[in-house]
Structure 1
């Protein structure tokens, strides 16, 4: 057996454990990724189906007032978080990006139901 062949065999023997563990980790990660993708797809299908079947009904004055009050309080909290985050970011203080990112996420989560309410009307009544 030549020196090159022996060196290659020795390298293969010393790295076989690492390669086996790497294969096991990547296989497990791929399986978990496929499961998460499948669960996400099923959740989105169920959510869109439930949203299509939802039928709005008129609210009473008390329920409308309560919902507007809750919405106003949530908007005030979001504005406060955004104000603190932007103020800290403008002062270049550490940990300021967390507040700004949380505020931006909250604004996005507030706009999603509003966008659904605005654009969810179907053209069947026209």
Structure 2
């Protein structure tokens, strides 16, 4: 046996334990990954099935008044926040971008209940 072959054999024998542990770790990691993917897929399917069966009930006039009152107060707060943020941004203040970004997120959060009210009342297809 030559020196090169002996060196390769010795390296193979020296790294057997490390290779076995690496195989065990990657096998375990792959099994955990498959389980997580399966759980995520089941969660997504059950969520979609549950969303498909949601039937919102009509609200009373008092409930709608409180909802739109809250939305209008939130809209005024968002307008004030955006006004201050845009004023600072126009003055090229260093920290003003945070105000503008927070205002954009707040506008999206205010529009979500309105979008729900619009699309929740759509008519269902034939059954």
State the TM-score bracket (shorter-chain normalisation): 0.5 to 0.7
| Structure 1: gaps spanning 5 or more residues | none
Of structures 1 and 2, the one scoring higher in RCO (CA 8 A, sep 6+) is 2
CA distance in 2, matches of 1:92, 1:13: 61
Following superposition of structure 1 onto structure 2, how do residues 33-112 of structure 1 map, counting pairs within 5 Å?
33-68=33-68, 69=70, 73=74, 107=108, 111=112
| Structure 2: gaps spanning 5 or more residues | none
Task: Quote the residue 2:23 is aligned against.
Answer: 23
What displacement does 1:10 show? Answer: 0.9
**Cα RMSD, aligned residues only:** 4.2
CA distance in 2, matches of 1:46, 1:67: 29
Larger radius of gyration: 2
Q: 1:49 to 1:34 in 2, by over 3 A?
A: same
Q: Deviations over 1:70-120 (max 9, x none)?
A: 79649x58x96xx6xxx7xx8778xx99xx6xx86xx58x75x94796389
- For normalisation by structure 2, the TM-score amounts to 0.58
CA distance in 2, matches of 1:34, 1:20: 21
What displacement does 1:33 show? Answer: 1.0
- For normalisation by structure 1, the TM-score amounts to 0.58
Aligned length: 112
Q: 1:59 to 1:119 in 2, by over 3 A?
A: closer
Q: 1:22 to 1:47 in 2, by over 3 A?
A: same
